[in-house]
Amino acid sequence: MTVPASQVGPLHGLRVIDASQGAVGPWAGALLGQLGADVLKLESPEGDFIRAVKPEKRGLSSTYISVNSCKRAITLNLKDPQQLAQAHQLVQQADVLIENFRPGVADRIGIGYGTLSALNPRLIYASASGFGPRGPMATLGATDPHIQAFSGSCSVNGEPGGLRQRWRWYGHFDVNTAVHIVQSVMAALFERERTGKGQLLEITMIEAGLDLQRIRVTEHLAGQPPVPMGSATTYLVPDQSFATQDRPIAVSATSPRQWRALCEVLGLAELITDPRFARNPDRVRHRSELIDRLQAVFKTRPMQHWLERLRGAHVPCAAFATFDDNRWHQHYLDNGMIRNHDSAWGTLCLCDPPWTFSLTPAHLRPASQPGEFTREILDGRWPSLTEPSGRQAR
C-alpha cells in the first residue's frame, strides 16, 4: 500500500500501533489514520472479537471493516517470545500505542506501559477501559449498553412515564470514548513537543459518558433532577419532534425571531405576545399547554408542507431521514460527505472524514484484510505508507 503525497494528511509521519479490539480503541486508531497517521492494526492469531459481529461483507464483519479503516493489519502472537520481541521492535519506532485490555492484561502479555515506556520514552500510551484502573469494578469488561446504563444516560431516555430506554443507538458511547482518546493523544503529542517525553493516558468510557451528560448532571446538582422527556429538551421550548399528517418533523425555536416566525407559519400569531409563551423561560414553565397547541396544528398538514414553510421562514427543522435518504441526498453529494470506495470487499459506501484541511486534507482508506501486512512490516521494519514497500521512512 502506497499513499500519494497529496493524501498524506496533517498527521503524516506519526506512527501508531493500535493493539485494541472492539470499537472504542479501533475507531480512535481509524480517526488518527484518516488524519494521515500511519496506523498498524495489531491482532493476535485469534483475531479481534468484533470480527464475529454481523452483518458481513464477503466474509468479514462490516463493523470490523468500518472501525479499522486507514490501517495496515498485522498479526503477532504475543505469547511467542520471538513475536513479542518483534512487537517490541515496532514499539521502539512508534509514537503512539492504543490498547483497551482490562486492567492488568497488557502487563501480563508484555505490552504494559512500564515495559514499553522503558523501550521508548517518547511513546504516548493510550489505555482505554470501561470503568478505569481502580475501584471495585476495575477488572470488569464493558460494552456500550452497560456504560449507558451505569453512567446514568438511560435515566433520562424514553417517553415520560414510560420504560427507560437502554440505548438509543448501540455504539454511541463507544464512538464518544474513541473521540476522547484522539483528543488526549493530540494533547499529549503537543506536550511531548515541549518536553520530549511520552506519557500514560487513561481514558474511561464512564468519564467520557459523563462528559456527554454535563448539562444533565449540572441540572441535577442545581436541584432539578432530569427525567425522561421523549424527544424534548429541558431548557428550550419548543425543541422536539412533532407528529404531522404523515411523518414526524423535528422543530426548534432557539431565538425570539425564530419563535415569532414559527408562530406565524403555524397561524398562531396570538401566541407571540401571550405572556405565558413570550419568552423561553415562560415557555419552559408552560411547556405542556404550549406543546398541545403546536401539536394540534402540525397534525393538520403533511410533513413536507411544514418542512418547506419552516425552512422558508428560517426556523430550524428537519425530516427524519434514513441512511439511504442521506446516501442519495444532493447536499451530501455536493459536499462529498458520503463516497463509494473500491476495496477487497467490493464497493463500500463510507462516510468521509469529519474535518476539512485546506493544505493537508484528511482521507479515508478502506480497511485491509486481517494480517495482510504482517510480512511486509516485519521485513521492512515499518516502511512508510508514502514510500514503496521495504523502504524505511526513518
DSSP secondary structure code for residue 96 in this structure:
E
Torsion of Cα atoms, 230 then 317 then 239 then 291, to 10°: -80
CB distance 231 to 252 below 8 Å: no
Tell me the catalytic residues.
174
Grid coordinates representing 310 are 419552516
For residue 250, the Cα-to-chain-centroid distance in whole angstroms is 23
- Rounded to whole angstroms, the Cα distance separating 264 from 272 reads 9
Residue with cell 463507544: 174
Q: How many residues does the chain have?
A: 394
Give the count of beta carbons closer than 10 Å to the beta carbon of residue 218. 11
Give the count of beta carbons closer than 10 Å to the beta carbon of residue 110. 15
CB distance 392 to 382 below 8 Å: yes
| Segment (H or E) for 60 | strand 60-61
Exposed / middle / buried, residue 69 (Cβ in 10 Å: 0-12, 13-18, 19+): buried
DSSP string for 143-179? -HHHHHHHTTGGGG-SSTTSPPPS-SSTTHHHHHHHH
Residue with cell 431565538: 255
- Rounded to whole angstroms, the Cα distance separating 309 from 53 reads 43
**Residues facing residue 191 across a β-bridge:** none
